[in-house]
Amino acid sequence: MRFLVTGASGMLGRAVADTLAERGEDVTVLQRRPSGSPHHEVLGDVADPIAVQAAVDGQDAVIHLAAKVNVVGAWEDYRRTNIEGTRALVEASRAGSVQRFVQVSSPSVAHAGDSLAGVGAGPADPERARGNYARSKAAAELIALGSDGPDLTVTAVRPHLVWGPGDTQLIGRILQRAKAGRLPILGRGTSLVDTTYVTNAADAIVAALDRAEEARGRALVVTNGEPRPIGELISDICRAGGAPPPRLRIPARAAWAAGAAVEGVMALSHVLPGVPPMTEPPLTRFLAEQLSTAHWFDQRETRQVLDWTPRVSLAEGLELLAEATAAEQESTDHESAQGTTSQ
């Protein structure tokens, strides 16, 4: 079969494309710029109907991962990429030969700020979702699932906190802040949080393609199914990534107030002349909520519908992260030694 994968320059999209190729599928990736991908590349923006049509032409299935994922940014940027990009892909798929469509979404589309403990995939709600990313992804999921019909099966898969070696989003930011001494534990650090190792997330997305009829019209949350206290989880990630575990603790309410203050400064930076906009805020209200509330999900429906189970445990994933960190450090040390010798 012929598969189009968007967002394959990211860790998860690349893993999905590679997983499909390894089993002999014909894989095309839609990207904004050349990436050196081993798969056939079509260059273009997901919000450009002409580029999307060229990428979708002749495909049997589409896996849509491309998205604007930053914590902060202008609503128009999220709307264009996440909402209009999804709309363009769905419309091109319905007009072409595509039979299966998997929308890679996020549990945040159904999160209104409260703890999520052992719940399933609630309905996507753009009005209640927190922040521009979650609101735009909620609207995108509704567009995708609303296109499920006789000629196109659509499934939304919501991987939760995907991570692995080489991850520049979750792992990269945790380690960067830990090494700089700017990574606090909010509250007691006991809220349970589940995550998804990248191999498991990719397998689940591919399973949604294989089980298209069983999964059609559904939204399914995907995790490792191994919730851990967030303080313990962050500390384990830091150790595996070669960073000191956080020692600073901040009350959750104080963190939320600090996040609100940071957002106020960010808002002013957009209107005050000469003040550069803040692109990587140290804390926002959304981040404070994510770091102090429970986020774990009932996986029974997901595993039954997709006939899927994770093959990399949390402990194994941490071991793989530690091995990759050690290999990277060894390579850095080797390059440093070579540089010293050549001088």
pLDDT digits (tens, 9 = 90+) for 183-205: 888 878 899 999 999 999 999 99
Q: What is the pLDDT of residue 188?
A: 84
Q: What is the pLDDT of residue 74?
A: 87
User: 133 catalytic, yes or no?
Assistant: yes
What's the total number of domains in the chain? Answer: 1
Q: What is the pLDDT of residue 243?
A: 95
Counting as low any pLDDT under 50, the low residues of the chain are: none
Exactly one of 3, 133, 256, 286 is catalytic; name it: 133
DSSP β-ladder status, 192-193 and 228-229 = antiparallel
The CATH number assigned to the domain holding 60 equals 3.40.50.720
Q: Is residue 12 assigned to a domain? A: yes
Sign of CA dihedral 129, 133, 139, 140: negative
Q: Within 10 A of 218 (CB to CB), how many other CB atoms are there?
A: 18
Q: What is the pLDDT of residue 255?
A: 56
Q: Is residue 29 assigned to a domain? A: yes
Quick: pLDDT tens for 256-272.
576 556 556 655 555 55
Q: Which residue has the tokens 């595996």?
A: 240
Distance between CA atoms of residues 30 and 28, nearest Å: 7
* Nearest of 18, 100, 96 to residue 54 by alpha carbon: 96
Q: Is residue 173 assigned to a domain? A: no
Residues 6+ apart with CB under 8 A from 284: 71, 72, 131, 259, 262, 263
Q: Is residue 44 assigned to a domain? A: yes
Containing domain of residue 57, as a range? 2-160+196-225+296-312
Q: Is residue 51 assigned to a domain? A: yes
Q: Is residue 249 assigned to a domain? A: no
Q: What is the pLDDT of residue 249?
A: 81
Q: Is residue 290 assigned to a domain? A: no
8 A C-beta contact, residue 164 and residue 198: yes
Q: Is residue 219 assigned to a domain? A: yes
